Copies of this chain bind each other. A is one copy, B any other.
């Protein structure tokens, strides 16, 4: 029993050391997207690849495996350290799963992949700026080939995509996602048909010239109201908004200033702050163990979409914040709450995912999910991607982008090599909707608080129910624990129907 504890401490300490290196990797990436001088690109790629190699080495070291194997049989998953409390047993299972995943990939593969994607990010930026798919295509080709190889290394039963999906949400299969997404697509298409038959809402006033500095100041007021601790975080600018956390005390977000759309920056900040609060809400004393880590990308996304859509696009939120916005941009004073609420919830098929409304958003994800599956399966070639993209855009959203920059080059994810990531956006939306039902039960009068600009009680509920538990559960388990019901797309569909029948 004493030995179990001692071995557990050893595993924890080795795991924490690797986690520290991952935090350093995060900082290098954050710096690359924010302040790094452009000519440092090549050496930064080497630094990232070096760190990736070191991290992989530590996570797969015989030293770690040996200590872990004393507590849990690495081959069959049987717990040997029977004396440990349940929570620590959960950690052991998770460590084993991660170890098996990490040892599936050879170190030179990991280093090569990191170097490739670091250069691919730069190529993507240039391709997007120059509106040239050719500039990015050779990188994407290599990234897909390496993702296929990755799936082979990781192993899968039915579809190589299963292996990639499991990196971001590991309690759900490609087949299950396909079924879920197809039900969703059917319901959303039907709802969209109803909406587009109605008179369109007016939102012209949200576009034009809005001072960048004032947008940032307004964003900071929102962060403050949310209880985002700016002594443990930062807000900066980058090409594509992202969040990056090295530790609960160092959780940073970025946004971008859209040249003409006011809400772009504000919603990006709400979104990324949702991610950031999740990281800030993890337990520092469990840092480096699975219980100090977020559950999955999809649960992460449930937090960001919660703040972006459920709060940031609610009428009660703007009852407080519209007057603040009026003060920053007096030309909006002619717009009343009702008009503003309708405008920010305008449903209209568009090209850009991160600017999509709540209704069409999932269609953007379903499109990417299908293309990714086909690219990985090899049934779609990279050279045919722009055409396939446009065909699906036409089919699901009825519109076709004129340029690749507002088409298949719009997102950073593929350049980062993150195939399997996109579905978690929509799964996250579904999680958020189901979790929100539980939140409403606990706080039936939440709107009267939010109307006063009070948001911290929401952050506290999320921390209490979700953040502080780390990886004690999988995504679907968390949903069941918090809501008492199994995971389903229904709460999200119900929410959309109720909300948008009032707007349209």
Determine if A67 is an interface residue (Cβ-Cβ < 8 Å): no
Interface string of A1-22 (1 = CB under 8 A from B): 0000000000000000100110
Determine if A79 is an interface residue (Cβ-Cβ < 8 Å): no
**Cα–Cα distance between A39 and B279 once the two chains are bound (Å):** 14
Are B40 and A20 in touch, CB under 8 angstroms? no
Are A247 and B43 in touch, CB under 8 angstroms? yes
Indicate whether A35 sits within 8 Å of B247 (C-beta atoms), given known contacts A27-B27, A27-B28: no
Residue numbers in B under 8 Å from A44 (CB-CB): 250
Indicate whether A43 sits within 8 Å of B250 (C-beta atoms), given known contacts A27-B31, A28-B27, A50-B20: yes
Indicate whether A46 sits within 8 Å of B24 (C-beta atoms), given known contacts A35-B234, A229-B39, A234-B37: no
Are A250 and B36 in touch, CB under 8 angstroms? yes
Are A20 and B39 in touch, CB under 8 angstroms? no
8 Å CB interface, A422-456 against B:
none
Q: State the main secondary structure of chain A at its contact with B.
A: helix
Choose from B31, B42, B54, B249 the contact partner of A37 (Cβ within 8 Å). Answer: B249
Q: How far is the CB of A18 from the nearest CB of chain B, in Å?
A: 10
Are B37 and A250 in touch, CB under 8 angstroms? yes
Determine if A47 is an interface residue (Cβ-Cβ < 8 Å): yes
Total residues of chain A contacting the partner, CB 8 A: 35
Indicate whether A28 sits within 8 Å of B24 (C-beta atoms), given known contacts A43-B247, A250-B43: yes
Are A246 and B40 in touch, CB under 8 angstroms? yes
Residue numbers in B under 8 Å from A47 (CB-CB): 20, 23-24, 27, 246
Interface string of A39-79 (1 = CB under 8 A from B): 11011101100110010000000000000000000000000
Are A17 and B247 in touch, CB under 8 angstroms? no
Choose from B21, B38, B249 the contact partner of A40 (Cβ within 8 Å). Answer: B249
Q: Which residue of B lies closest to A43 (CB)?
A: B247
Residue numbers in B under 8 Å from A233 (CB-CB): 37
Indicate whether A247 sits within 8 Å of B24 (C-beta atoms), given known contacts A17-B50, A35-B35: no
Determine if A239 is an interface residue (Cβ-Cβ < 8 Å): no
Q: How far is the CB of A261 from the nearest CB of chain B, in Å?
A: 27
Determine if A225 is an interface residue (Cβ-Cβ < 8 Å): no
Q: Which residue of B lies closest to A287 (CB)?
A: B43
Q: How far is the CB of A41 from the nearest CB of chain B, in Å?
A: 8
Q: How far is the CB of A204 from the nearest CB of chain B, in Å?
A: 34
Choose from B28, B232, B287 the contact partner of A39 (Cβ within 8 Å). Answer: B232
Q: How far is the CB of A250 from the nearest CB of chain B, in Å?
A: 4
Residue among A17, A40, A232 facing the most chain B CB atoms (10 A cut-off): A40
Are B23 and A249 in touch, CB under 8 angstroms? no
**Cα–Cα distance between A35 and B233 once the two chains are bound (Å):** 10
**Cα–Cα distance between A47 and B31 once the two chains are bound (Å):** 16
8 Å CB interface, A383-421 against B:
none
The 4 closest A-B pairs by CB, nearest first: A40-B250, A39-B232, A43-B247, A39-B249
Return 5 A-B CB contacts under 8 Å, by A number: A20-B47, A20-B50, A24-B28, A31-B31, A43-B250
With contacts A23-B43, A54-B54 known, what are 8 further pairs, Cβ within 8 A? A20-B50, A21-B50, A24-B50, A36-B250, A37-B231, A39-B249, A40-B250, A43-B247
